[in-house]
Every structure is written in structure tokens, then in C-alpha cells.
A and B are shown apart, each in its own frame.
Chain A
Amino acid sequence: MMKKSDKKTIEELKRRLSANETAPPAAGAPTAADVVRAIRERNIIPAKRIVVPLVRRIAFAAAALVILAGSVSFLGVPGADWGLLNRGKNTVSDNFDAYTPSSNSELVAIFKQIEKNNGRGYFDFSYGRKELAMQDNALEGSSQNGAPTGGGGDTRYGETNVQVKGVDEPDIIKNDGSYLYTLAGNSVVIAKAGPGGSVEKAAVIKASENESMQALFVRGDRLVVFSTSYNYSRSGEEGMYYDVYNSSTCRTAVYDVGDRTDPKLVKELKQDGDFMSARLIDGELYVLSSYYVYVYGGVKVEEACIPEVSVDGKTESIDYRDISVVSETEPNYLIVSGLNLDDLKADVSKKAVLGGGGSAYCNAENLFVSRSVWDATLVYDTAVKTDAEGAGDTVASVDAQAGKTVIYKFSIGGGKVEFIRKGEISGQVLNQFSMDEYDGYFRIATTNGSWGSSTSSNVFVLDKDLNIVGKVQNIAKGERIFAARFIGKTAYLVTFEQTDPLFVVNLDNPKKPFIAGELKIPGFSNYLHPVSDTLLLGIGQNGNEDGILPGVKLSLFDVSDPENPKEADTYIIQGECYSEASNDHKAVMLYPEKGLIGLPVMRYITGQNYYGAESSFLTIRIEGGKIVPERIYSKQYKDNADVYYGASIVRGTYIDDTVYTMSPFELNAFSMTDGKLLGTLKLADMDVYTKPVEPVDGSTEPGVAPEEGSGTSGEESVTVDSSGRSEPVTAPEVMPAD
């Protein structure tokens, strides 16, 4: 507890700092205008950077292993003597840098050593841990494809846009052709999609206290809800209290929704850590969590360091034989569990790797999890230095040392998970789309360095044992990967600094990949979607030669000639716009039967005292090598400025001729025939945001600015610029202006 005298001193300091004569004048602070000018002068744009997990203790952790192994030489030295580590009975024999401990006490010893090396007496990750969890989720890019669950008849309905066909990814909305399952306001709302576009609430599943719902799967009569529960206890005194973080639990709840109005919990799986991601492949469910071992407040290392899994209330520690320890040890487990939704009585399979995880790529046979290994301190100091003084040589070298990516390969099948091995490459992975497996080869795109001119990108090809067999390096110096997509024997990369090169990498010969062609265009794409064998749709940011401009840009790339990729067409949504699709591939709606692609578009309105947004859902079709806008679905509120960001559309899906848009608060149904609003269902309380007033009308025709009766903000009325297509790029002013 805080001493009285300390409190008094704090009060005294506060008093002096608020007294006129003694306080530093706040007027001396750089103004917003100063900051804006400085940012523009230095030509800074927000980096789409891989998040740096707070792993400053990695070096210590590795050092711990050194001591354990009785060897001092292997820290970060590839090919060093790992034999000493491979002493466990269940050693993964031919894998020199991952091994299975021989007993629980060996694991405890590892943790004790980490603890000792940390010089702290405990692992205090209270802050870093939470941040890490958020980052992992975001990195992950959950997605899914709704495995077709026999919606019945010839009903056509939307499935989640996924990376690998047949491998469903979890999302906040799922659709089975009759019902929509949404996650909003920390509750699951099951909505009946009735005839004529009606949407009615069938059932609600609420999260319990401290539980944060993350994502959903639906398969037939099974609904799967993922959540993370954070457990805190409060200590300390008023004024200086602190929450002691105890643990977090990733929960997988399987409901029987045979009766959609009465979901019944039929299986509950809890594993230590935060929910990271999951995949569903034909009834086989794989769940990933990240468990940072946290020892504090009387918790003993021995109790916390072996991860636990509980199935229907029965808790068991993961057997040490199912745990792998890798060289880049940190007190963070990646836990992967597998179960079969079609046979819930079967055993739950579980594996753990001591040494975290990040993005996940999964196909029907293998699961690959990447993990960034950084020396965060090094990177951070570099960043600040670079920012303050401009990039220097030291920066490049520091950066190069600071980051690598390790890859964990698991084999999956029948609901069983096996850890296969670990691999490593240099650079950092952007997201799951940076990884792919084809024809027995694992391909991965990375960016080295994080700052300024020190960056460059690579594509690596690894064999089934994760040995590098081929690579292209030093792609686009000074730029970073903004989007990646592997399609068959070709990789497409978008890098960005000033203009947006699209690189086509030929992977025909896995041992000799090379850059086949490149294309420089303004702006950049964050997501690449294969439209056909020769066309690729890019969703991203508008720009010109000097950098980025406001506006969402859709680019249609013709890659029929890999040596000469072309931008066949562009479509720019003018104004201060943003599309969730550029951030999350699951926001892209695909309606193959109608040849439609949909994406949410948000346009910001900045007034004197408010910041609002106008949200809509745009559908386009690709026709004759052109992007053709189909329709804009938008619920009109009396005063657009009243609609804050929280009400923005984040997903769209469809059943036959009805489009459903989802915001964190509402589900709206629109007719695809005339764009009219057919039905609305409130999903969560909007009290914290301004309530929308009565809808005025459904929609607007494509290419026509919505009639804003209220005349909110003048000229650049939303939507799509009226030609529907932008010429070269008629740059609306905004950017460097001066």
C-alpha cells in the first residue's frame, strides 16, 4: 500500500505543477499543425508493420537453455551443437532445434532458469501479455469459409472468404442459408433470415463476466463459439491499486443448435491462454491459443509452467511428451488442440510448443504457424533513433539482426495434431497470406528490417523438412510487403514506399524462383484476390507518385503475361474512405453465382465538433477485364454525422437475392433487385453511440451520389465517383498540399 507521506508528496507535486507561476506552460507544446508539418516533411506514413511481440527477454530465455544444455555456443548460431539438448526420451529425432523434454521436472527447470535469468523473481508480463494477445488476433486475420453445411435445396448463401478452399476460418458472422450467426456486443445473436428480407432474433448467447467472445464456426447443427476469459484479481490501495493478472483461458464452446431458438452446450474445451485462431476442415476443428506463463502473486512456477486443457470440466496437464521446446524459448506456449465436431466423444488431441506463435496458415494436411522473433529493445531504439536522425548504416545492421521468423509445422488429420518440426528464415511475415504450401513445398514471403531504407523483401521455398531449397532475396529495397498471395506456382507481392510495385515471382522450379515481372503503379493493395486464372483484384489505398491519397482503390491486375503484369482497370472510391476489406479478407463478400464481389466502404465526415462516418456496402462485378460497380447498399440516417464508427458495416453476406450487412450494432437486409432496405435487426446496444434515426430510404443507384437531404458535407458526396471509374487518378487535393 502507498505510504501517506508519498501520497502527500504526490499531492504537493500536483499542486505545484498546476500553480501558474511554477507550472511549465502547456502553450510551449508543439501544436497539432507543427506535428502535421513535421510528419509531412519527414514523409512519414503509417507503416503496416508486423507487430513486435514483447520479447525482450528472448535473449535471457535462450541463455537459460544454454546453461541447461551445458553449452555456451549456440545462442543464435545455426548448426550449433544441439545434441546436448536432444536428451529427452522422446526427442524429435532428426529435428535438431526442437526437442521433447524427458519429464515435467525438466520443463520446470527450464522455467526456473528463465526466471533466474530474468533476475526478477517472477515473470511479469501483465502489460505485454495483453498487448500480445490483441496483436496475435489481429495478425491472424481470422477468416473462414463456411464449409457448405447442406443449407438445403438450391439456396445460395454466402460463405466466409477464406485463404484455402475447404478450410474454414472463424469469423464474426456465419451464414447457413437459413440463419445468420453473428457476434456483436460480446454476444452471439442467431438471426432467422425470413422471406422478404425479414431478420428476426432466434436466440442470444451472452458472454460471461470477463469473457471476450472472439469468433464463430457453424457446421450443420453445431455452432462453435471461441472466447478468451481474462482472470484478474485486484490488490493494493486506493490511489495505487493494481490488478494482478492471473491467467487467461481460451474457451471453445460447441452448441447443438438443432433448435435454433434454444442452443444447448454439448462440448466445452478450455485451454490455457488466449484464443489465437482456429480452422475447421470437414468437421475437424483445430484451435490455437497462446499461453504466456505468468508467475506472480504467490503462483508457483511448478504450477503454472505446464499448460492445462480441460474437456467438459475435466482438467489435465498437457503431457510433457506432447510438448516441444524450441531454441528461441520464451515463457510462452503455443497450444494447438484438435477435436472432431462429428464425434464429440472422441479424445481431444493437444500439442504445445514452448515458444509462442503468430500467424497461421492451414491446409487440409498441415498447419504452419509463424512466429516473429525480435529483439524488441533493439528494434525500438532503432526506430526512435532513425526517426530522430534519419536512417544510418547502423540501423540497417541492427535491423537485420533484430528479426527472424520461426515456423512450426504440424500435421493434422482426423482431429489429431502432431508437431513435425521447426524451421526458420530471415525477415518478418505480414499475415497468413504470406504463407502457402503447394506440391509439397512451403513458400513464405517476408520483409527484413522494419524501418526506413533498411527494408527489403524475400520469398523462400522450403521442402517438407523445412529446409530452404530456393529463395529470391532483396526484393524492393526500402519497401515493405503490403500484400502477398500465392497462387499455384506463382507468388504475387505488393510492396510499398512511394508507388506500388506488384511483383510476379515465378516458382515453377522450387529451387530457382525468380522475379518474372513487375509493375509500378500509384497507391497500394492490402489484399489480393484471384478473380480468374489471369486476373487479380487488389483492394487498397489510392495514391500518386508522391505517396498515398485519400480514397479506396480497387485495381484489376491482368497477369496473363507474368513478365508484363498490367493494371487492366482501376476503380477509385473518392474521398476520405476506408474499406475493412483492406484490413481483413473476411470483409470481402463473394457471390460466385452472380459474379459479384462485395466490400464495406466507410467514408469519414469531419465537422467542426464531430467526426462521423457514412457506411455502405459496395458490390462490383468483373466484366470484360473491367471493374463494373453493381450497387451500393447503404442505410440512410437522417444525419450522417450521427453515425459514428461503431455503426460502420464490417461484413456483408447474402442469401439468394438478399444482401445482409453487419455492423457491430445492426444487421440490415437489402434487396439485390432494387437495393431497398428490407429489414433490420438490432444486434447490440448502440447507446454509447448516437442512435440512428428512422431510416429514410434504402439505397442509391450505383454511380449516383446518395441524396443527402440534410446536405451534410458538400461536394465529395460519398460513394463512387460518378463516372464509376477513375481515370489515371484525378488527384483530389489533400495530401502534401503545401
Chain B
Amino acid sequence: MENAMTGLAVLAKAGDVEAFGKLYEMYAGELYRYACCVLGSASYASDAVQDAACSAFSQIRNLRDEKAFKIWFFKILSNCCKKYFSDLKRERLTEELQETAEESLEPAPSDPVLSQELSCALAKLGEQERQIVFLCVIAGYNSREIAGVLDLPSATVRSKLSRALKKMRAELEP
């Protein structure tokens, strides 16, 4: 798999879109699930992943180590999520203003993809906290790797992760 991946990355660098597509496919599920969890919206997640893919292809020649494709892609996706998250927040704020009747802390997106419980737990977290949590839970990265993706010191990642998990614990525990 690693060989095929390296080969595809070489192809993609030479401008082969199809090869890039195959490369993307290897991680599509993981990337999308990650975006879903961070953004809490299926359509936003899909857009974020697609944007990240386009951005990744245009920058693929900057990827020096083909084996680092996944973490490199996550870095790009995390930036896209950051942007979409603020868009989403703005959108929800507008909605909120329109329907002042409803009183919820963090209104659910129009197309929720997560279970009620999980959504509630996540509502307590900010964008960066969500990214940290799911880089750990979904992408399986350690604090040093997460630090690399988000450009934070590892120690900060560790303390933020711990704090975020604590916040979620109350909601998740039966």
C-alpha cells in the first residue's frame, strides 16, 4: 500500500488528477468523518473535504515526503475546517437571530450527522478543541503529530486535549 501510495503521489505531482483521486480515496472516509465531527454538518463537511482536496492537489509538489501524505492532507483539511467552522457559526447566529424564540446553546445544523448525545457533548467544545480531539480519535495522531497539524506546541495540545475530554465526559458517561 505504501508503495502504491508513493507511486500515486509521484504521478499526482506530475499532474495526474486521476492518480490524485485514487490517493484521496484511500483516506476519503477518514477525512470526511473527521470533518463531520468537527463541523457537525454533512454538507459543510463534504464541502470542506472537497476544498481541501483541491487545495492539496494544487500544492502537491510541496509534499516532499510521499509517506507523509495523510498528515499533510489533514493539515490542509484542518485549515479548511477552521474556515467553515466560522462560516457555520455565522450562519447559525443569523438563524438564531431570525428565530429568537428557540433557546438553545448551540443550534443544531440543518443536516446533523452526529447522534444527539455526541452533538451535545461537542457543543461544549470550540473549533480548535474539536480538531484536537478528533485528530486523536479519528486520525489516530499523538500529541506531537497533532501539534504539527495545528501548529501548536505539543504541551498545549496535551493540556487542551485533556480539558476537552473532561468537558465531554459529563455528556458521554451514562
Instruction: Tell me how far the C-beta of A644 lies from the nearest C-beta in chain B, rounded to whole angstroms.
Output: 5
Cross-chain contact of B15 among A12, A45, A239, A610 (Cβ < 8 A): A45
Taking the complex as formed, is B151 at the interface, i.e. its CB lies under 8 A from any CB of chain A?
A: yes
Number of interface residues of B (CB under 8 A): 76
Which A residues are CB-close (under 8 A) to B24? 32, 35
Q: Decide if the interface of chain A is mainly helix, strand, loop or mixed.
A: mixed
- Residue numbers in A under 8 Å from B166 (CB-CB): 5-6, 9
Contact of A124 among B25, B136, B153 (CB under 8 A): B153
Tell which of A14, A23, A548 has the most Cβ of chain B within 10 Å: A23
Q: Which one of A5, A33, A47, A550 lies within 8 Å of B16 (CB-CB)?
A: A550
Distance from A12 Cβ to chain B, minimum over Cβ atoms (Å): 5
Write the chain B residue with the least CB distance to A7.
B165
Given the known interface contacts A22-B118, A576-B11, the answer about A29 and B46 at a Cβ–Cβ threshold of 8 Å is yes
Determine the chain B residues whose CB is within 8 A of the CB of A127 once the complex forms.
144-145, 147-148, 151
A34 to B133, alpha carbons, bound, how many Å? 28
Shortest distance between the CB of B155 and any CB in chain A (Å): 8
Asked if B115 and A21 sit within 8 Å, CB to CB, the answer is yes
Q: Tell me the smallest distance from the CB of B19 to a CB of chain A, in Å.
A: 7
B64 to chain A, nearest CB (A): 4
Interface size on A, residues (CB 8 A): 80
Q: Report if A24-B64 is in contact (Cβ < 8 Å); known contacts: A6-B165, A17-B37, A38-B54.
A: no
Binds B, one of A70-78, A142-150, A384-392: A384-392
Chain B nearest CB, measured from A221 CB (Å): 35
Answer whether residue B58 sits at the interface, using C-beta atoms and an 8 A cutoff.
yes
Known A32-B28, A36-B20; contact A126-B147, beta-carbon cutoff 8 A: yes
Is there a chain B Cβ closer than 8 Å to A46's Cβ? yes
Query: Hey, what's the 0/1 contact readout for A373-385 against B, CB within 8 Å counting as 1?
Result: 0000000110111
**Cross-chain contact B29 with A29 (CB below 8 angstroms):** yes
Main secondary structure of the interface of B (DSSP, over half): helix
Q: In whole angstroms, what is the CA distance A239 to B144 when docked?
A: 12
Residue numbers in A under 8 Å from B133 (CB-CB): 13
A688 within 8 A of B: yes
Asked if A35 contacts B162 (CB within 8 A), the reply is: no
For the complex formed, measure the closest distance between the CB of A250 and the CB atoms of chain B, giving whole angstroms: 18
Partner of B153, one of A45, A120, A550: A120
User: In the bound complex, how far is the Cα of B58 from the Cα of A24, in angstroms?
Assistant: 28
Q: Is B114's CB within 8 Å of the partner chain A?
A: yes
| Residues of B contacting A665 in the complex (Cβ-Cβ under 8 angstroms) | none
Contact across chains for A29 and B28 when beta carbons are under 8 A apart = yes
B7 and A612 contact, CB distance less than 8 A: yes
Task: Report the 3 A-B pairs with minimum CB-CB distance, sorted nearest first.
Answer: A127-B148, A29-B32, A26-B29
Binding site for A on B (CB under 8 A): 3-4, 6-8, 10-22, 24-25, 28-29, 31-33, 36-37, 42, 45-46, 49-51, 53-55, 57-62, 64-65, 76, 79-80, 83, 113-115, 117-118, 133, 136-138, 142-145, 147-148, 151, 153-155, 158, 161-162, 165-166, 168-169, 172-173
29 A-B Cβ contacts within 8 A? A5-B165, A12-B172, A16-B117, A24-B33, A25-B113, A29-B31, A29-B49, A31-B28, A36-B17, A36-B20, A36-B21, A38-B54, A39-B17, A39-B53, A39-B57, A45-B15, A46-B59, A49-B61, A124-B153, A127-B151, A134-B64, A240-B143, A384-B79, A384-B83, A388-B80, A604-B19, A611-B7, A613-B7, A645-B10
